[in-house]
Amino acid sequence: MDGRDRPGQDGAVEARVKLSPRLHVTELFFRPTLNGDAENRIMTTRVAHCACRRLAAEAQGEPLIVSACHCTECQRRTGSPFGLGAWYAKDKVRIAGETKTFIRPVEDRTVINHFCPTCGGTVLWEASKREGLIAIAIGMFGDPAFPPPARSIYESHRHPWIEFQGAMEHLA
Ligand SMILES: [Zn+2]
Ligand SMILES: [Zn+2]
């Protein structure tokens, strides 16, 4: 154990969300191109990173679901009127760089945000009700071609001027 993954006040929660293996961030940014690799021809791989590039996440394949969330916690996490998360199975996501966690209780569950200690960007988060899954903030991909949200939740907190195009599930 190298200190940075040392459990916090709540060892049980920390143990459950331990993310490994960690790579050095250069392994994601500067790894050799996979063009021609048989697996990569059929599998989209995208890299998300925070503003200072010290924390990155590589996601293999398409997200299971992309959700827009208008809740006030996502508003405060992002500083924007809504958050956007792409959910993946944990084993499809590799993380590089150091993270700090912010654990937030939500009603009967917890949300664990993983953010960059240098620039503060929350690149990933987990929800205790979504065991085995992890979300990546889609803005961290910087990719306008990223799949759009299929679900819009906590719409009771939606800023009224925000409207998404296309078919999607709407939840209050
Ligand atoms: Zn950063
Ligand atoms: Zn939210």
Q: How far apart are CA 44 and CA 21, in angstroms?
A: 21
Q: Which of the ligands is closest to the CA of residue 125?
A: 2
Domain count, the chain: 1
Residue 66 lies in a domain: yes
The rounded Å distance from CA 54 to ligand 1 centre is: 5
Q: Which of the ligands is closest to the CA of residue 119?
A: 1
Domain containing 108 — which CATH number?
2.170.150.70
SS3 for the chain is: CCCCCCCCCCHHHHHHHCCCCEECHHHHHCCCCCCCCHHHHHCCEEEEECCCCCCEEEEECCCCEEEEECCHHHHHHHCCCCEEEEEEEHHHEEEECCCEEEEEEECCEEEEEEECCCCCCEEEEEECCCCCEEEEEHHHHCCCCCCCCCEEECHHHCCCCCCCCCCCEECC
Residue 2 lies in a domain: no
Residue 4 pLDDT class (50, 70, 90 cuts):
very low
Residue 108 lies in a domain: yes
Show the domain range for 136.
11-170
Residue 54 lies in a domain: yes
pTM of the predicted model, to two decimals? 0.80
Q: What is the pLDDT of residues 94-134, one digit of tens each?
A: 999 999 999 998 888 899 999 999 999 999 999 998 999 99
Residue 1 lies in a domain: no
Q: Ion ligand 1 — residues with CB under 5 Å? A: 50, 52, 54, 116, 118-119
